[in-house]
Amino acid sequence: MISRADRIFGCLIGLVFADAVGSRFEGVDPVQLRSQFSDKLSAFEYASNRGGLQYTDDGQMALAIAEHLAENTTIVSEALMTRFVNVYEPWRGYGRGARVLIEAFRDKADYEFMAEHLFPGGSLGNGAAMRSAPIGLRFMGDTNRILEEAKSSAWPTHRHELGIEGAQLIAVAASLAASESSIDPVMLADSLLPLCSTVVFQNRLARLREVKSDVDIEQFGNGIEAHESVVTALSCFALYPQDYQKAVATAIWQGGDTDTIGAMTGALVGAHVGPSFSTEIPIERLEEGQEFIKYVRELADRLAG
């Protein structure tokens, strides 16, 4: 029996490690990536073991959401944005819109107007989805609540329906990952599809049902937009729900937004299997090593409590 705290720790450390490893290849063309390594596991192992491992905006914002939920019973969008501002380290590599909005909020500029109009209809980037998995574990099993909380978590930076729905899908998938004993493409698609209101995600989830091997994943994209990355990560998880290294290596092997597709995939596998995978990968190479792992462990315990 895997405890709730262990699943949260697995989710957070799985997200952060995959983000750090995937960031080594962010923006790389998959053809180029695949010409440099003999297979996906070699690429994963190479990136895991060379240089320092630092998380990017994905990890920074996901940890901020976990902290917010450890201290509050519900997500308050404005308070969450204040937290994003307080932890903001631009060198970690933020999305263009997210950076503008965080700085506008910090500087008391016309943030509300920008959040609505910086992009047509608001941002549909994957920045809300990359950070929403902890919400699924905090409100595990309560789908309506997860949908509502995920929307509140997206709102500070992502107001487009695709940006919000991406966050909702990853959060509900994290809840399923933690509560269901068996995951596969058909069950994941059938569980998520009825919750979707956008045709874009409905179409992609209908196709997720048919995924049988790695070659079927490429159709879902590797881009920075929510609809070009969220179902890609769901597919990697659904194909390898028990195997962290294979799932994350498959995500990174797609090229493009490798840190983010990796982070979403790693969070879901970690929620499903707990932290058992962490003995097989060098998590102590993350950030300041044992101190950081201890911090994430304590955060998971607080969130579970």
Partner touching 256 among ligand F2R, Mg ion, none, CB below 5 to 8 Å by kind = none
Residue from 30, 93, 282, 289 in contact with ligand F2R (CB under 6 A): 93
51 Cβ contact list (under 8 Å, min separation 6): 24
Q: Where are the alpha helices (DSSP H) in 253-305?
A: 258-273, 290-304
Q: Binding to Mg ion by residue 259, rule CB under 5 A?
A: yes
Position 20 contacts ligand F2R (CB under 6 A): no
Q: Is 228 in the site for ligand F2R (CB under 6 A)?
A: no
294 binds, among Mg ion, ligand F2R, none (CB under 5 to 8 A by kind): none
Q: How many CB atoms lie within 10 A of CB 185?
A: 21
List, in order, residues 6 or more apart from 177 with CB less than 8 Å away: 11, 136, 183, 237, 241, 268, 269, 271, 272
Q: How far apart are CA 53 and CA 168, in angstroms?
A: 28
- Interface residue with ligand F2R among 50, 96, 117, 294 (CB under 6 A) is 96
Residue 225 interacts with, from Mg ion, ligand F2R, none (CB under 5-8 Å by kind): ligand F2R
How does DSSP assign 10-46, residue by residue?
HHHHHHHHHHHHHGGGTTB-HHHHHHHSSSHHHHHHH
From residue 108 to residue 137, the character string flagging contacts with ligand F2R as x (rule: CB under 6 A) and all else as - is -----------xxx-xxxxx--x-------
188 touches, from ligand F2R, Mg ion, none (C-beta below 5 to 8 Å by class): none
Single out the residue of 77, 75, 118, 76 nearest to residue 95, CA to CA: 118
165 interacts with, out of ligand F2R, Mg ion, none, CB within 5 to 8 A per kind = none
Question: Nearest to residue 130, comparing CAs of 5, 229, 24?
Answer: 229
Nearer to ligand F2R, 52 or 121 (CB): 121
Burial class (CB in 10 A: 0-12, 13-18, 19+), 59: buried
Half-sphere exposure of 190 (CA within 13 A, CB side): 6
Q: Which of residues 42-71 bind ligand F2R (CB under 6 A)?
A: 56-58
Question: Helix axis angle, 230-239 relative to 258-273, nearest 10°?
Answer: 40
> Closest separation between CB of residue 119 and ligand F2R, Å?
3
Binding mask 37-66 for Mg ion (x = CB under 5 A): -------------------xxx--------
Nearer to ligand F2R, 66 or 98 (CB): 98
Nearest to 251 by CA among 64, 17, 65, 91: 17
Residue 302 C-beta: closest distance to ligand F2R, Å: 26
Binds ligand F2R (CB under 6 A): choice among 67, 228, 257, 287: 257
Q: Which residue number, 143 or 258, has a Cβ lying nearer to ligand F2R? A: 258
Q: CB under 8 Å to 163, separation ≥6 — which residues?
A: 122, 123, 124, 125, 126, 127, 128, 129, 154, 226
**Interface ranges with ligand F2R (CB under 6 A):** 26, 56-58, 93-98, 119-121, 123-127, 130, 157, 160, 224-225, 257, 259-260
**Interface ranges with Mg ion (CB under 5 A):** 56-58, 257, 259-260
